[in-house]
Chain A
Amino acid sequence: MTSLHTTRRGFLAAASALSTTALLGMPAFAQGYPSKKIDYVVPYNAGGMSDNISRLIGEKLAAATGQQVINDYKPGAGGAIGANYFMGTPADGYTLLQSTNSFYGIIPLVTKVQYKPLEDLVPLVLVGDAPMVIAVNPAVPATNLAELIAYAKANPGALSFGTAGKGTVGHLSGEWLQKRAGIQLLHIPYNGTPAALQAVLANEAQILFGPESAEHIAAGTLKGIAVLGDTRWQQLPDLPTTVEAGLEGWAPRSWHTVSIQAKAPQEVKTKLNTLINQILQEPSVRERVASFGLIPGIASYDEVQQRARDDNAQFGALIRDAGLAIAN
């Protein structure tokens, strides 16, 4: 299965990185790192998913390094305020940013930010993917992706999808499905995911993209159609992926990472990737990440750069097609 393959490859990469450093020894700078407290910028309000992840990693990082890791909350403008604040801190590797792939694929394209993705800001690790589940109201006469596409083709414009707003991963998932399947859907933006979920439950909108539908799929109040991408989700193991259903290649995805300024010394980046990957491989941590509703992941430093590059290109194309990009 694809998921096992990815995981095993990640494991091997991380393990080889570990053994290499053990054999060659760390360069002088990284050996001393970290020699003082680490600031951990969370660009959202306390209590949310990003905060949960940052607390989990921060606590373990502090234990592993013997240094304090202190959370600094800078919410606002969908994470852009925190990112801009982060770019103003010294690039010495002692400030980290809790982030998602939106910081590489979406936010810099639709908001004025003071960084160029992957040139100024780079991801360090893959914490986990938030599964983008396609769920529909039970009134929609379709039980799988082929039927949903056929119904949408027979009734163009009849189906609408509810999202947490313009330029969210949910919105771009809808744009992607329209483009890939050659169908027409109406986009109805809501003020946040809970409102969109409520609308799909009430059949005001018919389709929802994201992990929030899981409980309702299990209870039968919504119908699960597929998971975007190539990896099934442990919480809904019977739900096929869009790749299995015939839509090959890249699909919109949402994953969590820890970012650092690109100018930070490469040894520090490598060391942090190793340190955090060790943490993420602990069974108890994987269990916690899964309990947040994520698919726990693991990736080497180079793999996660590639992920961010792909998302930057693919989301960028979707955003331009949807007419969303702003002149920066």
Chain B
Amino acid sequence: MIGGVDVFGGIALGLGVALTPMNIFFCLAGCLIGTLVGVLPGLGPTATIAILLPMTFGLPPETGLITLSGIYYGAQYGGSTTSILLRLPGEASSVVTALDGHAMTRNGRGGAALTIAALASFFAGTVATFFMAAFAPIMAAAVLKFGAPEYFMLMFLGLITSVVLAQGSAVRAIAMIFLGLLLGLAGTDINSGQYRYDFGFMELLSGVPFVPLVVGLFGVADILVTLENAIRDEKPPTLNPISSLWPTRKELTRAAPATVRGSLIGLFLGLLPGGGALLSSFMAYTAEKRISKTPQKFGTGMVEGVAGPEAANNSGAQTAFLPLLTLGIPSNAIMALMVGAMMTHGIVPGPRIMSGQPELFWGLIASMWVGNLMLLVINLPLVGIWVQLLKIRYQFLFPTILTVSIVGIYGVEFTTFDVYLTAIFGLLGYFLHKWRCEPAPLILAFVLGPMMEEYFRRSMLVARGDLMIFVHHPISLAMLVVTALLLLSICFPFIQKFRQKAFAE
């Protein structure tokens, strides 16, 4: 029994709410808008939901929230489209998709990558909906088991695994991690309130903004590199022609287990506020790379590297609703906007939602599954249209991408400062490419670094300076052991090589 309604009763109630013609219509509208928004680089779901928020005030609360959540997961789908086709991740979680997704596009398998991303997301959405319906209270309790030391160890584990992400030399990957950590240091120190590396720019007081960094390092840098090649080779850049839009049977059988693993990883990590969404796709990618028999092929268009992170990303996007619906804690900026939407209807998100507003709670959960189904229906036919984008001559395509990116970036905070930053990071990304350095570990370190510092210092505050807090908390200890094993497994080949050498002499 959950709040007076059992799980099956709850799902039935929820479907009753979600399947009214009006709610289906608004769910579809939300998903469509979200997909379009996700495709436009820079313009993220946060800005869109903020803009569209007042339009939902006139709707019943369930319908309003169903529309907004449609935009939210629609954007998750759309964001992977540009990542895969143009190497333009619009948000943190699709950075990982760009790695092998765009490589597939260069191999002429862009259509297949999009189809697999859509199928994996749908599967993950279905799994997440079911888990949320069945285990909401247990999952909510798990959130409260995560204190500062647990978060710190999770971030630490994430950072160590990011070395695994690198395709080339480990030394370069470590250099990129440090560069990312340094960039992440800018902003206001949370414990002392002191400003660090703000160089007199007020815009930097809340840190280096994320979207300009990602669009610069990936999108702009990629355009610069492609143009340089075009000028040097005196021929316009071309991609391999898209062969089939559908994945082959072999691709599907490789993607299926990756999807299941990714869904489960996202299910849990999505619950965690802050870095959860990003960590889940990075962790899923790392898991695939470690399990794979051919890890060296990752980055060259491995289908597992698309399916796993996309599934994780999507199931995480849904479980992110749980802390909000059960504890009243918004786990990211979009959930914070959902709080705003609920408040205007006089609904205060918190522990009483499930029992006090069962139609809202179950309706929203059921609409997630309906929304995922619609996204599949919308996106599969769209795959054919999206890949047509690649046929646009680059003289038109590149200026369009740049214009749309700049408009989107300006629209996040309404400041030209971010636009200049994008240009700077674009140049940096170009040089990183020249030096054969991967930007992905940089991004992960940039996001995780400040959080690690925050959680470490908070752990020390809570424990009154006792480092043993990381050992005394069982979840933290378990992650510490996993991290140690992972470090060993990374170092082991080196040690082995060293020993062979030593014995040879």
> Which residues of A are at the interface with B, using a C-beta cutoff of 8 A?
45-49, 51-52, 55, 73-78, 80-81, 84, 110-112, 160, 165-167, 186, 188-191, 194-195, 197-199, 201-202, 204-205, 212, 214-216, 218-219, 221, 291-293, 324
Q: What residues of B have a CB within 8 angstroms of the CB of A219 in the complex?
A: 350-352
Decide: B454 and A215 in contact? CB cutoff 8 A: no
Q: Is B458 an interface residue (CB 8 A)?
A: yes
CA distance A221 to B351 in the complex (A): 8
Decide: A216 and B328 in contact? CB cutoff 8 A: yes
Interface size on B, residues (CB 8 A): 48
With A52-B340, A52-B343, A73-B414 known as contacts, the answer to whether A186 contacts B193 (CB < 8 A) is: no
Decide: A194 and B330 in contact? CB cutoff 8 A: yes
Tell me, rounded to whole Å, the shortest Cβ–Cβ distance linking A261 to chain B: 19
Decide: B273 and A166 in contact? CB cutoff 8 A: no
Decide: A215 and B351 in contact? CB cutoff 8 A: yes
CA distance A101 to B10 in the complex (A): 44
Decide: A215 and B346 in contact? CB cutoff 8 A: no
Q: What residues of A have a CB within 8 angstroms of the CB of B343 in the complex?
A: 52, 291-293
Decide: A84 and B191 in contact? CB cutoff 8 A: no
With A47-B336, A165-B193, A215-B328 known as contacts, the answer to whether A76 contacts B203 (CB < 8 A) is: yes
Tell me, rounded to whole Å, the shortest Cβ–Cβ distance linking B187 to chain A: 10
Tell me, rounded to whole Å, the shortest Cβ–Cβ distance linking A290 to chain B: 9
Q: Which of A47, A49, A84, A221 contacts B202 (CB 8 A)?
A: A84
Decide: B54 and A55 in contact? CB cutoff 8 A: yes
CB within 8 Å of A: which B315-347 residues: 323, 327-331, 333, 336-337, 340, 343-344, 346
Q: What residues of A have a CB within 8 angstroms of the CB of B274 in the complex?
A: 191, 195
With A197-B329, A199-B147, A202-B147 known as contacts, the answer to whether A75 contacts B413 (CB < 8 A) is: yes
Tell me, rounded to whole Å, the shortest Cβ–Cβ distance linking A320 to chain B: 14
Given contacts A194-B336, A195-B329, A293-B348, 15 further A-B contacts (CB under 8 A): A45-B333, A47-B337, A52-B344, A73-B414, A76-B206, A77-B203, A194-B273, A198-B273, A198-B329, A201-B329, A204-B147, A215-B348, A216-B351, A219-B351, A324-B193
Tell me, rounded to whole Å, the shortest Cβ–Cβ distance linking B55 to chain A: 12
Q: Which of A55, A110, A291 contacts B193 (CB 8 A)?
A: A110
User: Which B residue's beta carbon lies closest to that of A73?
Assistant: B414
Q: Is B462 an interface residue (CB 8 A)?
A: yes
Q: Which of B53, B147, B202 contacts A80 (CB 8 A)?
A: B202
CB within 8 Å of A: which B403-434 residues: 413-415
Decide: A198 and B205 in contact? CB cutoff 8 A: no
Tell me, rounded to whole Å, the shortest Cβ–Cβ distance linking B10 to chain A: 19
Q: What residues of B have a CB within 8 angstroms of the CB of A160 in the complex?
A: 461-462
Decide: B192 and A166 in contact? CB cutoff 8 A: yes
CA distance A215 to B327 in the complex (A): 9
Tell me, rounded to whole Å, the shortest Cβ–Cβ distance linking A295 to chain B: 15
Decide: A216 and B350 in contact? CB cutoff 8 A: yes
> Which residues of B are at the interface with A, using a C-beta cutoff of 8 A?
47, 49-51, 53-54, 143-148, 188, 190-193, 202-203, 205-206, 273-274, 323, 327-331, 333, 336-337, 340, 343-344, 346, 348-352, 413-415, 454, 458, 461-462
Decide: B202 and A46 in contact? CB cutoff 8 A: no
Q: Which of B143, B202, B454 contacts A191 (CB 8 A)?
A: B454
CA distance A197 to B324 in the complex (A): 12
Q: What residues of A have a CB within 8 angstroms of the CB of B415 in the complex?
A: 74, 76, 81
Decide: B348 and A214 in contact? CB cutoff 8 A: yes
Decide: B413 and A291 in contact? CB cutoff 8 A: no
Decide: A188 and B461 in contact? CB cutoff 8 A: yes
Decide: A76 and B190 in contact? CB cutoff 8 A: no
Decide: B53 and A47 in contact? CB cutoff 8 A: yes
Q: Which of A165, A202, A324 contacts B190 (CB 8 A)?
A: A165
Q: What residues of A have a CB within 8 angstroms of the CB of B144 in the complex?
A: 198, 201-202
CA distance A188 to B458 in the complex (A): 7
Tell me, rounded to whole Å, the shortest Cβ–Cβ distance linking A69 to chain B: 14
Top 9 closest pairs, chain A to chain B, by CB: A215-B350, A166-B193, A46-B50, A219-B351, A47-B50, A77-B205, A47-B337, A202-B144, A204-B147
Q: By CB atoms of chain B within 10 A, which of A73, A84, A198, A324 has the most? A: A198
Q: What residues of B have a CB within 8 angstroms of the CB of A197 in the complex?
A: 327-329
Q: What residues of A have a CB within 8 angstroms of the CB of B202 in the complex?
A: 76-77, 80-81, 84, 112
Q: What residues of A have a CB within 8 angstroms of the CB of B49 in the complex?
A: 47
Decide: B148 and A204 in contact? CB cutoff 8 A: yes
Tell me, rounded to whole Å, the shortest Cβ–Cβ distance linking B296 to chain A: 38
Q: What residues of B have a CB within 8 angstroms of the CB of A214 in the complex?
A: 348, 350
CA distance A47 to B332 in the complex (A): 13
CA distance A47 to B68 in the complex (A): 12
Decide: B191 and A166 in contact? CB cutoff 8 A: yes
CA distance A49 to B337 in the complex (A): 10
Tell me, rounded to whole Å, the shortest Cβ–Cβ distance linking A217 to chain B: 10
With A191-B454, A198-B329, A291-B346 known as contacts, the answer to whether A47 contacts B340 (CB < 8 A) is: yes
Decide: A166 and B190 in contact? CB cutoff 8 A: yes
Q: Which of A76, A186, A198 contacts B143 (CB 8 A)?
A: A198
Q: What residues of B have a CB within 8 angstroms of the CB of A73 in the complex?
A: 414
CA distance A62 to B3 in the complex (A): 44
CA distance A185 to B413 in the complex (A): 37
CA distance A20 to B351 in the complex (A): 50
Q: What residues of A have a CB within 8 angstroms of the CB of B190 in the complex?
A: 165-166, 189-191
Q: What residues of B have a CB within 8 angstroms of the CB of A202 in the complex?
A: 144-147
With A76-B202, A76-B205, A197-B329 known as contacts, the answer to whether A48 contacts B340 (CB < 8 A) is: yes
CA distance A324 to B188 in the complex (A): 13
Q: What residues of A have a CB within 8 angstroms of the CB of B53 in the complex?
A: 46-47
With A74-B414, A218-B352, A291-B344 known as contacts, the answer to whether A81 contacts B203 (CB < 8 A) is: yes
Q: By CB atoms of chain B within 10 A, which of A47, A51, A324 has the most? A: A47
CA distance A159 to B53 in the complex (A): 40
CA distance A224 to B147 in the complex (A): 23
21 residue pairs A–B, Cβ–Cβ below 8 Å: A46-B50, A47-B49, A48-B336, A51-B340, A52-B344, A77-B203, A81-B203, A84-B202, A160-B462, A188-B461, A191-B274, A194-B329, A194-B336, A198-B323, A201-B144, A202-B146, A202-B147, A204-B148, A212-B328, A218-B350, A293-B348
Q: What residues of B have a CB within 8 angstroms of the CB of A78 in the complex?
A: 205
CA distance A110 to B193 in the complex (A): 9
Tell me, rounded to whole Å, the shortest Cβ–Cβ distance linking A16 to chain B: 33
Q: Which of B413, B414, B462 contacts A188 (CB 8 A)?
A: B462
Q: What residues of B have a CB within 8 angstroms of the CB of A188 in the complex?
A: 458, 461-462
CA distance A111 to B415 in the complex (A): 20
User: Which B residue's beta carbon lies closest to that of A202?
Assistant: B144
Decide: A76 and B147 in contact? CB cutoff 8 A: no
CA distance A298 to B310 in the complex (A): 52
CA distance A214 to B339 in the complex (A): 14
Decide: B203 and A215 in contact? CB cutoff 8 A: no
